[in-house]
Amino acid sequence: MTSSRWSDLDRPPLNAAALRRAVVERDGVWTVLDVVQDTGSTNADLTAKAQQGAPEGTVLVAEEQTAGRGRLDRVWTAPARSGLFFSVLLRPGEPRGGQAPVPVHRWGWLPLLAGVATATALSRTAGVDTALKWPNDLLVTVDGEERKTGGILAERAGDTAVVVGIGVNVSLRADELPVPTASSLALAGAQGTDRDPLLRAVLRSLSDWYSAWRAADGDATASRLDQTYAAGCATLGRQVRAELPGGRELAGTAVGVDADGRLVIAGPDGEQPVGAGDVVHLRPSR
């Protein structure tokens, strides 16, 4: 835990009041925005708030996470103020603005939606080409190699709510990388590492995509989410190995994403959908 928010002048603290003025709007998606100095996990904290009745659109941002979680219960940690670490509370299972609840079987698109929203916002605002690895890792290219700069974790929070956590390495330096396959926007040549405009851009993009998806009753095709995801997904067309629950593996070509957001892999036994697992890119795309 850092003793002073100003101990690293290259990593100034976020301005919570300014962020609220920018993103919390009447009749908008975002209703509450809080910034805390440190916490174990914004997803865990916001899930607890959701169970206590927090409204849809609650945003919780941490300057530092000490026990952040990624997919498959992997730990996500980084120096204070070196990235964006935040979670948002969505309630697709409740009516909103005259719209009916989104059918539960379509909620699987929410992490992919968050990936599209985040990647497009970062590409536009930071000037760094950001691609998606199925289901929702954020990739940048450094010295010709793909590197992970962020990830997304969506978790159910009761019968009607989903908490979506987003973590992005922004100013992480080479000697701070947790693993050789990681990177940051700064190392990928970002035109700026001010987290304030980056966070605003991601939240606005997420609001736009979520609103369009809800207006389409969660239909990924009608909202054009499936097309946009496929266009930005670096996994499609690649030879991959999916490490599945229970220790099983499936190797083949990633040929598409089905109506439920599952990755479709064409292997020796035909095409099979993968809904959960770790996907490894085996070789560069053609």
Euclidean distance between CA atoms 278 and 137, whole angstroms? 11
Nearest to 146 by CA among 135, 154, 156, 138: 138
- Determine whether 142 is exposed, middle or buried from the number of CB atoms within 10 Å of its CB (0-12, 13-18, 19+): middle
Q: Which residue has the higher pLDDT, 122 or 8?
A: 122
CB atoms within 10 A of CB 18: 11
For residue 3, the model assigns a pLDDT of: 47
pLDDT tens per residue, range 184-196: 999 999 999 999 9
Euclidean distance between CA atoms 42 and 35, whole angstroms? 10
SS3 for 19? helix
Distances in whole angstroms, Cα of residue 58 to Cα of each of 35, 143, 156, 203: 11, 38, 15, 11
pTM, to two decimals: 0.92
Amino acid making up residue 7: S
For residue 2, the model assigns a pLDDT of: 45
Nearest-10 crossing angle of helices 110-126, 195-215: 140
Q: Which residue has the higher pLDDT, 220 or 278?
A: 220
For residue 244, the model assigns a pLDDT of: 87
Euclidean distance between CA atoms 212 and 6, whole angstroms? 39
Q: What is the dihedral of CA 154, 79, 150, 71, to 10 degrees?
A: -40
Asked if pLDDT for residue 38 goes beyond 50, the answer is yes
Euclidean distance between CA atoms 14 and 106, whole angstroms? 34
- Computed from CA positions of residues 238, 244, 247, 249, in that sequence, does the dihedral angle turn out positive or negative? negative
Separation of CA 41 from chain center: 15
Q: How confident is the model at residue 146 (pLDDT cuts 50, 70, 90)?
A: very high
Nearest to 251 by CA among 261, 263, 242: 242
SS3 for 234? coil
pLDDT tens per residue, range 67-89: 755 554 556 678 999 999 999 99
Beta pairing class for 32-36 and 58-62 = parallel
Residue with tokens 């935040």: 86
Domains plus CATH for the chain? Answer: 16-231 (3.30.930.10), 236-281 (2.30.30.100)
The answer to whether 132 touches 138, Cβ cutoff 8 Å, is yes
Asked if pLDDT for residue 107 goes beyond 70, the answer is yes
For residue 4, the model assigns a pLDDT of: 55
Q: How confident is the model at residue 246 (pLDDT cuts 50, 70, 90)?
A: confident
